Amino acid sequence: MPYRCLLRSFQRIHGDSERSSRRLAERKCGTGRGRSYVAPERSLSPSTTVDESRWANLPPELLLDIMRKIEVHSTWPARRDVVCCAAVCKSWRSITKEIVKTPEQCGLLTFPISLKQPGPRDLPLQCFIKRDRAASTYRLYLGLSPALAGDASKLLLTAKKIRRSMKNEFIISLLANDFSQASDAYAGKLRSNFLGTKFMVYNCQPRCAYPLESDLCLYQKVFKTKVSPTVAVDDLKLATIIYELNVLRTRGPRRMQCTMHAIPFASIQDGGTAPTPSTFGNGIDDRSCSSSAMRDEYPDSISTGLCEKTELTRSTQVPLNLKNKSPRWHEQLQCWCLNFKGRVTVASVKNFQLVAAVDPSQSIPSAEQEKVILQFGKISKDIFTMDYRYPLSAFQAFAICLSSFKPACE
């Protein structure tokens, strides 16, 4: 009896080994369908090809007229129709890019790349931030306030605070629940030192670890089924934020200074312009509209993207410095006051206004020196307003405001 049991166990082990070897051979030959199996490319059906050609072959005059009527919508969620039209096909996207202007020109946020482009020059873009203490998350919305915006508020960016041993980081993402730095939704991060008095703003760069052209086809087949690549995303320092240490608050109100490495000082002079990127950095702006047209429309995004433009600015021009506007002491209220023009209703040490730090020797008009580029203030327990304008972008302004939530700075 024990001999029979031993024989059966040997037969079972031998059968399992044969089946595993057969599966391995099938995978090597390409006949099996394992987890890494990639189905062969299939040609589109005639009906799909006909439907695509119908939309793509519309007269440009008709497309232009359609897009002009749709682009009239200046608020969300009605502005979502503009993004949907850009996702139809390549011809529709090209027409959309001709009509939709940058936030500096039209004062509207449409595509993800708009979050990293300078804001309007005339009037600031009004946003608000919601803080979730339990989840350590901060969400940036487009709108006056939660009560006034209602359903028209649009989620722009989300940040999550991650505590580490010697530093703290705020991971900024386009999505509400995706904070992976390898994800396409990754926008950048804010990193603080141990004391919480110095912060660095980092922007995501385009991934440079691409294969050679000869291995491009094999690379696409191998990584086609992966959700997020394993290549680490390198970051580029955009700004440095420094708070003056004031533990006992004996030096008056909080003082801060921001050095914008990606924005030259000449941008606030007459005729000056700030760098305006055309790609998001990790391709999310292209994939949000048309993944198939990404290589056709942006073939040089790796070499001529935001990375090289920012490095050129840092190496050849003087960066723009921002400082907080000094408040005035109110004798009747017995507190420091700033004019937020009704956008801030609760007194807090976190409230601030940033203006350009200009030397007397520099030829900058006084009106330009007093112009508030970014203001941030509290309106309820966990609701804060954020208004920014040229030359800052929404991403840069949001990162600066996140540094105000650090307790060590108070």
Look up the pTM and report it.
0.73
User: Angle CA(135)–CA(405)–CA(285) in degrees, nearest 5?
Assistant: 70
| Interatomic CA distance for residues 174 and 202, integer angstroms | 15
Q: Which of 299, 298, 307, 206 is nearest to 261 (CA)?
A: 307
Structural domains in the chain (count): 2
| Interatomic CA distance for residues 311 and 261, integer angstroms | 9
The pLDDT tens digits for 344-358 are: 989 888 899 999 998
Q: Which residue range is the domain that position 53 belongs to? A: 46-100
| Interatomic CA distance for residues 277 and 307, integer angstroms | 9
Q: Are residues 67 and 159 in the same domain?
A: no
User: Angle CA(113)–CA(118)–CA(123) in degrees, nearest 5?
Assistant: 120
Domain boundary among 58, 75, 100: 100
Domain assignment present for residue 153? The answer is yes
How confident is the model at residue 280, as a pLDDT? 67
Q: Are residues 95 and 164 in the same domain?
A: no
Q: Are residues 79 and 192 in the same domain?
A: no
171: domain CATH number is 3.20.90.10
Domain assignment present for residue 107? The answer is no
Backbone CA torsion sign across 45, 46, 50, 53? positive
pLDDT above 50: residue 222? no
408 CB burial (10 A radius; 0-12, 13-18, 19+): middle
Domain assignment present for residue 211? The answer is yes
Give 252's pLDDT tier (boundaries 50, 70, 90).
low
Domain assignment present for residue 34? The answer is no
Q: Are residues 328 and 191 in the same domain?
A: yes
How confident is the model at residue 289, as a pLDDT? 43
Q: Are residues 83 and 128 in the same domain?
A: no
How confident is the model at residue 116, as a pLDDT? 94
Domain assignment present for residue 366? The answer is yes
Q: Are residues 219 and 251 in the same domain?
A: yes
Largest CA distance in the chain: 103
- Going by their DSSP bridges, the two strands 328-330 and 319-324 should be labelled as unpaired
Give 228's pLDDT tier (boundaries 50, 70, 90).
very low
Instruction: Compute how many other C-beta atoms are within 10 angstroms of the C-beta atom of residue 70.
Output: 16
Q: What mean pLDDT value characterizes the chain?
A: 75
Residue 237 near residue 396, CB atoms below 8 Å: no
| Interatomic CA distance for residues 202 and 191, integer angstroms | 8
Domain assignment present for residue 286? The answer is yes
Q: Are residues 292 and 366 in the same domain?
A: yes
| Interatomic CA distance for residues 153 and 255, integer angstroms | 32
Give 374's pLDDT tier (boundaries 50, 70, 90).
very high
Mean pLDDT across 240-251: 76
Q: What percent of the chain has pLDDT over 70?
A: 66
Residue identified by tokens 């722009």 is 156
β-strand partners of 138: 131, 159
Q: What percent of the chain has pLDDT over 90?
A: 31
**Which DSSP letter does residue 346 get?**
B
Q: Are residues 73 and 171 in the same domain?
A: no
How confident is the model at residue 34, as a pLDDT? 43
How confident is the model at residue 51, as a pLDDT? 45
Domain boundary among 56, 78, 100: 100
Q: Are residues 210 and 68 in the same domain?
A: no
Domain assignment present for residue 166? The answer is yes
How confident is the model at residue 317, as a pLDDT? 80
β-strand partners of 157: 140
| Interatomic CA distance for residues 154 and 281, integer angstroms | 22
Judged by average pLDDT, the poorest of 61-65, 114-118, 225-229, 273-277 is 225-229
Q: Are residues 373 and 398 in the same domain?
A: yes
113 φ, ψ (degrees, to nearest 5): -65, -20
- Residues 28-36: contacts with CB under 8 Å, at least 24 apart: 36/222, 36/225
Judged by average pLDDT, the poorest of 111-115, 133-137, 280-284 is 280-284
Domain assignment present for residue 395? The answer is yes
Residue 126 near residue 385, CB atoms below 8 Å: yes
Give 292's pLDDT tier (boundaries 50, 70, 90).
very low
How remote is the C-alpha of 99 from its chain's centroid?
Answer: 23
Residue 404 near residue 350, CB atoms below 8 Å: yes
Where would I find the H helices in 158-261?
216-222
Judged by average pLDDT, the poorest of 20-24, 162-166, 186-190 is 20-24
Q: Are residues 54 and 137 in the same domain?
A: no
β-strand partners of 330: 335
Higher pLDDT, residue 1 or 388: 388
pLDDT above 60: residue 229? no
pLDDT above 90: residue 202? yes
Q: Are residues 188 and 68 in the same domain?
A: no
Mean pLDDT across 176-181: 91
Where would I find the H helices in 74-172?
80-86, 90-99, 103-106, 146-149
Judged by average pLDDT, the poorest of 3-12, 42-51, 279-288 is 42-51
pLDDT above 60: residue 213? no
